[in-house]
Chains A and B, each alone.
Chain A
């Protein structure tokens, strides 16, 4: 499902990713761990084309991306099949919770309004946010916002989900509620890549852990092996 081969990227003359190779099968949950500034988020953003890279290649959900700028058509196809959840949620503040989740199906999948709303309601129910369809994002707690963001990413039924430090901006209580949502998804068989500092989470949910330090993979293996018991 995911193949990263010899991926390198330089920024301002320095290598931020250096010959990175990762393989992950269907239903795999890959946790990327390591110190801040090690290139974790950059690697994740290369997987859906938010960043370009200089060498190597990425195969994801059946799409192949090569170094340099990607053709717009390819990007749209990759992003339909690969959902992403950001550290800062990035919900659209001018839209209600329901409209946030329905926007993707409406605009990208050209779903009729009623159908898109139905789909959005189902996704919100899945993350326990069905009661908040009419709310504005600004009125929700951080944890609730992140769950809406997860529902938004799920609305297009992506084959792979990317999580970029999904709990770093949250306090422990809210962090736990978001974590549960992601663990539930993993149990449901969703293929995902999660950048995280939270080793307890990685131990619970991940099928493999990749440690990235200064742009290089230092260790890869099962959670128990990399993170200890």
Chain B
């Protein structure tokens, strides 16, 4: 690579380091001066922790909402909620959140990277399956099921995921979801064989998923902790002390009893909580050796998604454009409506519909197929508009000259008009390919682990947010750079021709 090309790359890497460097977190006195303790959580499928009140959805409820209010009151301030995606909540520490209170399991890695408060809740992992399914004990998972390895859904970044990934004796494919409800829905619709999650979550949603049952007893238990940034020791200490008082005077037991979470058992479990060890910090070299293969294989998935979906998008887009310009009269408004619907709704929603709603009408697609279909569908709408402009830019005389030779309408399009339109739209289409490359990251919402998702999972599990961000950015650049060059070449060639 020429030094000319290397410079922007280095500049971007430097910028990422600067931009990703944590802002200093607000210490106890800053929180007091503000009069608010900002606590972060994810309300999506968040029962019984934090979820919209079914009777008044604009209001949040849940046992952690009340706990946050109790802690804030102990600090002499008000509690203010901050929404975030569950597996990325720790990234909000420092700015804009002071702490995370959201069923964050106390794990050695978390103790290494953040300040973890004393435990405030004890959980166990519960395996769930369909009532009519073949799973009846957790041990069943150690042998392959009727269709090979068992497919088990977990919340990405949760203790359930860590447990399954660190127990190779289970014959399972672990599939990570961004919400707990998503995996329950997928078990219900038969896409998954089972889901593994904190027992309190299933107890809460059990009525809604009457077709599912708990398999065996909860196991591999642990504790929830309040996360704070490492550079706010006094805020962390104050939260610890506040929790101590809330436990000691019985307010926490009353709270858990009100939420049907077994107050007495909880308090006994918290009293006996053993010290969790702190994980050791890896050297940069160890980090690279450990994460690079994972990041590279995730980059491979990104390439696969883009290279499978874009040709489909181009073909479908061209078909739609031809249909709108030259198709029968009844087809044109229909295609226009399709394009407007697809362009007017977010890609994420479309992926959701394909992956989570289609199984409910009996069409369960594997995640990769759903992701490729969603990306192709979404980009087909945009490509069709580009092709429409390209087709209209070919002079009418070309079409007439082809017809005058005795060609049918479709022969004239295929041999004369479309080849010219394709040349015209090369530069914008290449640009869209680059855009699609980056949009593949949205596919993580339907459990596809591509580069961005792998980064965020690794960044959180290792705590090396900045270093991994730089590696990830370089991988993305390495993939999109050749495409940019290609696009520029098309443009130059076209300018020369003009």
Q: A92-B416, A93-B420, A107-B415 are in contact. Are A156 and B400 (CB under 8 A)?
A: no
Q: Shortest CB–CB separation between residue B411 and chain A, in angstroms?
A: 5
B408 at interface (Cβ–Cβ under 8 A)?
Answer: yes
Q: Shortest CB–CB separation between residue A102 and chain B, in angstroms?
A: 11
CA distance A152 to B405 in the complex (A): 8
CA distance A65 to B128 in the complex (A): 74
**Residues of B close to A88: CB separation below 8 A:** 397
CA distance A79 to B403 in the complex (A): 8
Task: Please provide the chain A residues from 15 to 56 with a CB less than 8 Å away from any CB of chain B in the complex.
Answer: 48, 50
A76 at interface (Cβ–Cβ under 8 A)?
Answer: yes
B140 at interface (Cβ–Cβ under 8 A)?
Answer: no
Task: Please provide the chain A residues from 170 to 227 with a CB less than 8 Å away from any CB of chain B in the complex.
Answer: none
Q: A92-B416, A93-B420, A94-B419 are in contact. Are A76 and B408 (CB under 8 A)?
A: yes
B398 at interface (Cβ–Cβ under 8 A)?
Answer: yes
Q: Shortest CB–CB separation between residue B415 and chain A, in angstroms?
A: 6
A127 at interface (Cβ–Cβ under 8 A)?
Answer: no
The answer to whether A50 touches B407 (Cβ under 8 A) is no
B281 at interface (Cβ–Cβ under 8 A)?
Answer: no
**Residues of A close to B423: CB separation below 8 A:** 94
A80 at interface (Cβ–Cβ under 8 A)?
Answer: yes
Task: Please provide the chain A residues from 92 to 122 with a CB less than 8 Å away from any CB of chain B in the complex.
Answer: 92-94, 103-104, 107-108
A72 at interface (Cβ–Cβ under 8 A)?
Answer: yes
B148 at interface (Cβ–Cβ under 8 A)?
Answer: no
**Residues of B close to A83: CB separation below 8 A:** 404-405
B401 at interface (Cβ–Cβ under 8 A)?
Answer: yes
A86 at interface (Cβ–Cβ under 8 A)?
Answer: yes
The answer to whether B398 touches A156 (Cβ under 8 A) is no
B344 at interface (Cβ–Cβ under 8 A)?
Answer: no
Task: Please provide the chain B residues from 409 to 446 with a CB less than 8 Å away from any CB of chain A in the complex.
Answer: 409, 411, 415-416, 419-420, 423
A168 at interface (Cβ–Cβ under 8 A)?
Answer: no
B406 at interface (Cβ–Cβ under 8 A)?
Answer: yes
A141 at interface (Cβ–Cβ under 8 A)?
Answer: no
CA distance A80 to B407 in the complex (A): 9
The answer to whether A104 touches B405 (Cβ under 8 A) is yes
Q: Shortest CB–CB separation between residue B413 and chain A, in angstroms?
A: 12
Task: Please provide the chain B residues from 446 to 498 with a CB less than 8 Å away from any CB of chain A in the complex.
Answer: 497
Task: Please provide the chain A residues from 54 to 105 with a CB less than 8 Å away from any CB of chain B in the complex.
Answer: 72, 75-77, 79-80, 83-84, 86, 88, 90-94, 103-104
Q: A103-B415, A107-B411, A108-B411 are in contact. Are A90 and B400 (CB under 8 A)?
A: yes
Q: A50-B400, A86-B397 are in contact. Are A94 and B420 (CB under 8 A)?
A: yes
Contact of A48 among B404, B411, B419 (CB under 8 A): B404
Q: A86-B397, A90-B401, A107-B415 are in contact. Are A156 and B406 (CB under 8 A)?
A: yes
17 cross-chain CB contacts under 8 A: A75-B403, A76-B406, A77-B406, A79-B404, A83-B404, A83-B405, A84-B401, A84-B404, A86-B400, A86-B404, A90-B398, A103-B415, A107-B415, A108-B405, A108-B407, A138-B497, A153-B405
Contacts A94-B423, A104-B405, A153-B404 given; 6 further ones with Cβ under 8 A? A50-B404, A83-B405, A84-B404, A86-B401, A92-B402, A92-B420
